[in-house]
């Protein structure tokens, strides 16, 4: 019998070496380049010389490849500025190669809890850039992911995993947007018991994910098995419709589930099997677009202001509002996520981006993409006031990470096709919710207002997880603006197109509306004939003045060492 060699037990560097053709491994931006995180030492945390990400060039099946491998043992595989820039930068170089006819096969080896909380918004920005690169790259070549374990892939990086052409998992791998502990903390032990290991594995473990269509292959924890599974994906070629673009299938799946009833993990396997066989046409009754009993929200207020007199587009998810308007000769499709106290999914009633919201956003955007195929592509404007993603057991079981990926995929694809995508942040823009709804825009606008926040986690939760008091956390934000919550700190990172001052954010009047409309119109105009990627976030004045120094340097050094 052939001797098995564990893949899970290898460190990030050995994993990268193991999936490349023998003798071809060449690390770029390695430990001796000492490109470590500049943000950890000021917070009293010892950095690592490669910031926990290994980027290796080499060959797979005789074709050029780049393998990106995350070290789960360093800071839980958390994505900070340098780690994130290494991943995004490597994918961007692979994209450039493939566009220039040099076939380069990209592989991501996940072992990450998501954004590194100590670098907060740097992680968020990087993950948006990673996702943009994957959506662009996927058309040229399969982008293959492996979740071997032991950590798995969580947070924003679970959304990233949802975007891939193919996903290989072992039984030890786990894939979910919110980790079990975070769900228990945010939603209570009756929602999800993070000590119940069997439940966790049956919900987000590799075997369940493969059985319910969220991953493609369950591989043995064996170096050869995983390397062969990767080669097989490349041999099959580009996937016609990636999982995150299969809106009808997954919407029909959600409709087949009754969230008021208990949902056992085994039952869900059966529902999935039936759905796959059934016609993919979504059934279920259309809901009222707005039931009139919803609490006020900035998102709703601004959506109504900007679409006054426009017929809302009918849909069956009341928390996602959509309408077409005209603005300075441009057609604009506005999309907002608003609270719905009667949502079928109780964990998504406060305006969170949940399962239905992610897929509904994707559908509205894809409708516009299809309708505009032959003519001028309309602008798409995301009105952002999202307190968080939805935290819940059903959310994880039914693949909220993929619902978020569907929204990311739709926004990014629309942007690539030439729809000007504009984001207007009017309230909270938090974490996975902001990644899904807003972060893929060509241009991000925000109201300069104290109630406008950008962050990856509530202060209380972030303090608990990084083992600090809220006061200590606030002290740390003074050293690292990326950890601050206010929009002015976020603006220093260079990703904002404009901070709009002098506007009443809570109760806007006609003048406020006129001003914001002017800004949106200007932002739309600025995207026509401009590059369609997100590079503007790194070339902006604030970014080059110090907001993204490490992100820029990492990309430059990667490019120098690429060949």
Partner 1 sequence: METFTFEFPATKRLQGRAHVGVVGSGDLEILLEPSTEPRTRVVIRTGCTGFQEKWRLVLERFLTANDVAADIQVNDFGATPGVVTLRLAQALEVSQGR
Query: What is the binding site for partner 1 (CB under 8 A)?
Result: 11, 30-32, 34, 41, 44-49, 71, 73-75
End-to-end CA distance of the chain: 40
Q: How far is the CB of 150 from partner 1 (least distance, A)?
A: 12
Cα distances (angstroms) measured from residue 303 to each of 174, 295, 312, 313, 535:
37, 14, 10, 13, 28
Cα distances (angstroms) measured from residue 408 to each of 101, 226, 299, 363:
26, 28, 19, 12
Q: How far is the CB of 74 from partner 1 (least distance, A)?
A: 5
SS3 category, 195: coil
Q: Which helix (H) or strand (E) holds 176?
A: strand 175-176
Nearer to partner 1, 73 or 556 (CB): 73
Q: Which residues contact 372 (CB under 8 A, 6 or more apart)?
A: 378, 419
Cα distances (angstroms) measured from residue 448 to each of 229, 332, 490, 516:
49, 23, 11, 12
Nearer to partner 1, 31 or 418 (CB): 31
Strand partners, 421: 380
Nearer to partner 1, 41 or 99 (CB): 41
Q: How far is the CB of 253 from partner 1 (least distance, A)?
A: 38
Nearer to partner 1, 67 or 306 (CB): 67
Q: How far is the CB of 31 from partner 1 (least distance, A)?
A: 4
Q: Is the dihedral of CA 276, 277, 280, 286 positive or negative?
A: negative
Nearer to partner 1, 19 or 54 (CB): 54
Name the pairing type of β-strands 166-169 and 144-147.
parallel
SS3 category, 534: coil
Q: How far is the CB of 254 from partner 1 (least distance, A)?
A: 39
CB 490 within 8 A of CB 429: no
Q: How far is the CB of 46 from partner 1 (least distance, A)?
A: 5
Nearer to partner 1, 51 or 97 (CB): 51
SS3 category, 157: helix
Nearer to partner 1, 41 or 511 (CB): 41
Nearer to partner 1, 71 or 222 (CB): 71
Q: How far is the CB of 13 from partner 1 (least distance, A)?
A: 9
Q: Is the dihedral of CA 15, 155, 189, 255 positive or negative?
A: negative
Structural tokens at position 251: 């919407």
Cα distances (angstroms) measured from residue 530 to each of 77, 131, 219, 332:
35, 20, 43, 18
Nearer to partner 1, 37 or 436 (CB): 37
Q: Which residue bears the tokens 């606008």?
A: 445
Q: How far is the CB of 502 from partner 1 (least distance, A)?
A: 43
Cα distances (angstroms) measured from residue 455 to each of 86, 117, 125, 433, 550:
22, 10, 10, 10, 20
Q: Which residue bears the tokens 């490597």?
A: 90
Name the pairing type of β-strands 63-70 and 53-60.
antiparallel
Q: How far is the CB of 222 from partner 1 (least distance, A)?
A: 22
| DSSP secondary structure string for all residues of 254-318 | HHT--TTS---HHHHHHHHHHHHHS-----SPPPPS--S-PPP-HHHHHHHHHTTTSPBPP-S-T
Q: How far is the CB of 40 from partner 1 (least distance, A)?
A: 9
Q: How far is the CB of 292 from partner 1 (least distance, A)?
A: 53
Nearer to partner 1, 83 or 245 (CB): 83
What span, in angstroms and rounded, lies between the C-alpha atoms of 399 and 493? 31
Nearer to partner 1, 73 or 545 (CB): 73
Nearer to partner 1, 44 or 262 (CB): 44
Q: How far is the CB of 208 from partner 1 (least distance, A)?
A: 28
What span, in angstroms and rounded, lies between the C-alpha atoms of 124 and 478? 19
SS3 category, 172: coil
What span, in angstroms and rounded, lies between the C-alpha atoms of 148 and 143? 16
Q: How far is the CB of 386 from partner 1 (least distance, A)?
A: 34
Cα distances (angstroms) measured from residue 102 to each of 53, 96, 142, 236:
24, 8, 14, 18
Nearer to partner 1, 112 or 244 (CB): 112
Q: How far is the CB of 216 from partner 1 (least distance, A)?
A: 29
Nearer to partner 1, 73 or 528 (CB): 73
């Amino acid at each position: 019998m052939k001797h098995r060699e564990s893949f899970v037990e290898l460190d990030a560097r050995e994993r990268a070496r193991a999936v490349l053709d023998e003798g071809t491994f060449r690390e770029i931006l390695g430990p001796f380049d000492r490109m470590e995180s500049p943000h950890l030492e000021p917070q009293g945390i010892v950095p690592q010389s490669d910031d926990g990400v290994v980027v290796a060039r080499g060959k797979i099946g005789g074709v050029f490849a780049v393998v990106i491998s995350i070290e789960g043992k360093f800071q839980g595989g958390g994505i900070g500025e340098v780690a994130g820039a290494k991943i995004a930068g490597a994918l961007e170089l692979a994209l450039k190669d493939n566009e220039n006819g040099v076939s380069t096969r990209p592989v991501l080896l996940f072992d990450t809890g998501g954004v590194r909380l100590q670098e907060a918004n740097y992680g968020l920005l990087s993950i948006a850039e990673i996702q943009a690169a994957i959506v662009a790259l996927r058309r040229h070549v399969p982008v293959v992911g492996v979740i071997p374990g032991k950590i798995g892939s969580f947070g924003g990086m679970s959304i990233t995993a949802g975007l891939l052409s193919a996903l290989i998992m072992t039984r030890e791998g786990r894939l979910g947007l919110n980790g079990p502990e975070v769900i228990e903390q945010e939603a209570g032990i009756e929602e999800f018991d993070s000590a119940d290991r069997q439940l966790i594995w049956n919900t987000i473990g590799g075997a369940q994910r493969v059985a319910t269509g969220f991953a493609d292959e369950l591989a043995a924890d064996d170096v050869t098995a995983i390397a062969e599974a990767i080669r097989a994906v490349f041999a099959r070629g580009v996937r016609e419709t990636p999982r995150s673009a299969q809106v009808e299938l997954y919407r029909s799946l959600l409709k087949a589930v009754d969230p008021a009833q208990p949902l056992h993990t085994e039952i869900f396997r059966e529902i999935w099997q039936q759905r796959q066989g059934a016609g993919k046409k979504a059934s279920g009754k259309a809901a009222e677009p707005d039931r009139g009993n919803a609490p006020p929200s900035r998102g709703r207020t601004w959506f109504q202001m900007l679409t006054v007199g426009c017929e809302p587009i009918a849909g069956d998810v009341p928390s996602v509002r959509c309408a077409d308007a005209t603005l300075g000769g441009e057609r604009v499709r506005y999309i907002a996520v608003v609270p719905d106290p009667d949502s079928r999914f109780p964990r998504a009633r406060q305006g969170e981006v949940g399962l239905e919201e992610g897929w509904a956003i994707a559908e509205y955007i894809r409708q516009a993409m299809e309708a505009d195929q032959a003519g001028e592509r309309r602008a798409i404007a995301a009105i952002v006031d999202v307190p968080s993603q939805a935290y819940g057991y059903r959310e994880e079981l039914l693949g909220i990470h993929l619902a978020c990926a569907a929204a990311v995929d739709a926004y990014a694809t629309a942007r690539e096709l030439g729809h000007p995508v504009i984001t207007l942040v009017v309230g909270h823009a938090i974490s996975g919710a902001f990644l899904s709804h807003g972060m893929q825009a060509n241009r991000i606008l925000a109201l300069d207002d104290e109630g406008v926040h950008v962050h990856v986690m509530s202060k209380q939760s972030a303090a608990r997880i990084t083992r600090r008091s809220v006061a200590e956390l606030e002290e740390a934000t003074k050293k690292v603006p990326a950890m601050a919550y206010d929009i002015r700190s976020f603006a220093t990172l260079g990703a904002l197109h404009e901070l709009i001052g002098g506007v009443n954010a809570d109760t806007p009047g006609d003048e406020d509306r006129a001003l914001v409309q002017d800004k949106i119109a200007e932002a739309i105009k600025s995207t026509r004939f401009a590059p369609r990627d997100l590079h503007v976030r790194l070339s902006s004045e604030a970014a080059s003045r110090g907001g993204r120094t490490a992100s820029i340097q990492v990309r430059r050094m990667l490019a120098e060492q690429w060949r």
